[in-house]
Structure 1
Amino acid sequence: MIDADFLYELQRFDSELKRKVNSIFQGEQETSETGEGLIFADHRKYVAGDDTDLIDWNLYARTEEYYIKRYEEERNLTTHVILDASGSMEYGEGDDNKFDYAAKIGLGYAYLAAAENNDFRFSVFTDTFERIDSGRSNEGEVLGLIDTVNETEPDGRAEFGRALSEYAKTIGSRSLVLIVSDFIGDLEGIQEGIDSLADHHLRLVCTLSSEELDLPATGDTILEGIETETNVRTYVGNRTKQQYEERLDDHLGAVEEHAESRGAEYVLVDTSDDFFDSFSRAWPRN
């Protein structure tokens, strides 16, 4: 279960958030469309039908020609959190539970976005996605999301290509998109999902337990499928351990390589590490 107290520790990231927002989204929080916003854009000549209230009379006094002022409409930065709620995320006990650990990273993003009066969306996915926030984008909303996440039981199989591609269609403007997952699944599907979101500032946080990263050599073992009903009895010795870790490294390496080839950032976190250290590394570098 996630306790809300961890959110208040994140307040120390406020100054870092402001720096990142300025560097990542500079020039992107404003649309190219014009309207009666707060930011002056330019002038254009008056034509019949234009709002006479927009005429720049000071400019008329100098030129004796009618020009209207054009303004850019401001747009808030939107942070999209997409959290893997498939069965494999249920692994781990207590503070090392993958789903809870990953959810806290996503909730931390949402909390800091709200602290800067920016919008956020929060969704979970398996074979498709489900948006679980109500659209209020404030601290109270984040606290409510904690209750919703605590009531969520990870189950089923993650269909990265389908779920992320469907989600990408809901994003109307260039945004910060965070995917928190163990990225255990079909590589082609994961790559398809990454491609569908590559037009955004995409951040992948791969969340794994220490036992997944460093498989214990336990001898005779029954491996229970979390996302399937298949159980396998095998002998986990040093050779099996080495083969497993090589396959895992190859898979995660391919995910990271593909992400970076699309301009996305990828970071791996271990649930046995201090959460705030992991969150600091999970925060965007650019």
Structure 2
Amino acid sequence: MGGTVVTIEPDFLDELGRFTAALNRQTTSIRQGDQQSPRVGEGLTFSDYRRYSPGDDTRRIDWKLFARTEEYFIKQYEEERSLTVHLLVDTSASMDYGDATSHKFEYAAKLGLGFAYLTAEENNDFQFCTFRDRVNRIDTGQSNRGELLSLIDQLNEMTPGGTADFESALEAYAERIRSRSLVVVFSDCLADPEALESGIAALARNDADVLLVRVVAPAERDPGVVGDVLFADPESDETRRSYFSGSLAETYQSRLDAHIDSVSNRVTALGADHVLINTGEDYFDSFASIWLQ
């Protein structure tokens, strides 16, 4: 299943646009320019009004006040500060897994693009990065549609490889965060839970809201093979031949579940969020479950 060519089409942005419109109709809590959400919107309280100026977000107009005064006023909130959303996508070799519709790296990249798109729509800034042993920023700071198209081109040219070093990569990146931030890490988390914990802890210590999105391909949860099988580690090129039967399959499943639980427990104990995503599920259903949680 490895070696899948990533082909995110540019019209994916149009799909995101239609999805955004549907999302706005579904949610009753209008996200302001400060991206109010359970993770980053706590503590914002109404402060005052100011007159509407061309270019202001029309969603922030107080229509009840308009009905009384026939003038446009914008609601302002205390401690309004711009939000930077940091999007970190794992490009290690284990992410190069899954078929054309459930490929882990492509799915994770599209989730990151979805966050970037909606972040820009809400007048906030994003930084889009990939990482293995270090974090590599690939956007140019424009946070617009042209930037998103460039990101699609760059992501399509990437081939996951090597080993992720969560501890050193995320600790080094945490030192670069200087503003109110949400950090979203997209990864299959196939590493020592302690290393993952150390990396996430470094981000959380920097007063950033942190969300770890773990992507798991359907064939990882249920390999669907029986008999004499040669298993290969994509990050070390080591192979092992085993007879994969019912008892071994159960052991594999229990160890995977234990790893998922360990990572989740460690991350949430740090005050960060953890979401498990099945890459076999519909992309927009998965994205909505993350964005609206």
Report the equivalent of 1:174: 180
Does structure 1 retain, via aligned residues, the 8 Å contact 2:81–2:180? Answer: no
Report the equivalent of 2:287: 279
**In the alignment, which of 28, 31, 50 is matched to residue 19 of structure 1?**
31
Task: Extract structure 1 runs of 4+ deviating beyond 2 A.
Answer: 4-20, 22-29, 72-75
C-alpha separation in 1, matches of 2:42 and 2:212:
23
Secondary structure at 1:83's aligned position in 2? strand
Deviations 1:236-274 (A, max 9, x none): 111111111111111110111111111211111111111
C-alpha separation in 2, matches of 1:282 and 1:75:
23
Report the equivalent of 1:183: 189
Q: CA deviation at 1:117?
A: 1.7
The normalised TM-score by structure 2 is: 0.78
Closer, same or farther: CA 206–27 of 1 in aligned 2, 3 Å: closer
C-alpha separation in 1, matches of 2:118 and 2:37:
16
Report the equivalent of 2:114: 108
Greater Cα shift, 8-17 or 215-224: 8-17
Q: CA deviation at 1:153?
A: 0.8
Does structure 1 retain, via aligned residues, the 8 Å contact 2:83–2:179? Answer: no
Report the equivalent of 1:131: 137
Report the equivalent of 1:247: 255
Report the equivalent of 1:157: 163
One-letter identity of the residue aligned with 2:107: Y
Does structure 2 retain, via aligned residues, the 8 Å contact 1:217–1:238? Answer: no
C-alpha separation in 2, matches of 1:166 and 1:224:
31
Closer, same or farther: CA 230–27 of 1 in aligned 2, 3 Å: closer
| Structure with the greater alpha carbon radius of gyration | 1
Alignment of 1:40-79 (within 5 A): 75-79=81-85
Does structure 2 retain, via aligned residues, the 8 Å contact 1:117–1:138? Answer: no
CA RMSD of superposed structures (Å): 2.3
One-letter identity of the residue aligned with 1:19: R
Closer, same or farther: CA 130–28 of 1 in aligned 2, 3 Å: farther
Closer, same or farther: CA 139–28 of 1 in aligned 2, 3 Å: farther
One-letter identity of the residue aligned with 1:216: G
C-alpha separation in 2, matches of 1:146 and 1:234:
39
Secondary structure at 2:141's aligned position in 1? coil
Report the equivalent of 2:104: 98
Runs of at least 5 residues in structure 1 that lack an aligned partner in the other structure: 30-37, 40-71
Deviations 1:72-92 (A, max 9, x none): 996321110000000000011
Q: CA deviation at 1:7?
A: 2.5
C-alpha separation in 2, matches of 1:19 and 1:260:
24
Secondary structure at 2:101's aligned position in 1? helix
Q: CA deviation at 1:208?
A: 1.0
Report the equivalent of 1:54: none
Secondary structure at 1:94's aligned position in 2? coil
Deviations 1:14-57 (A, max 9, x none): 5359438224544789xxxxxxxx99xxxxxxxxxxxxxxxxxx
C-alpha separation in 1, matches of 2:278 and 2:265:
19
1:144 to 2:150 alignment: yes
Q: CA deviation at 1:234?
A: 0.9
Report the equivalent of 2:73: none
One-letter identity of the residue aligned with 1:276: F
One-letter identity of the residue aligned with 1:203: L
Does structure 2 retain, via aligned residues, the 8 Å contact 1:215–1:245? Answer: no
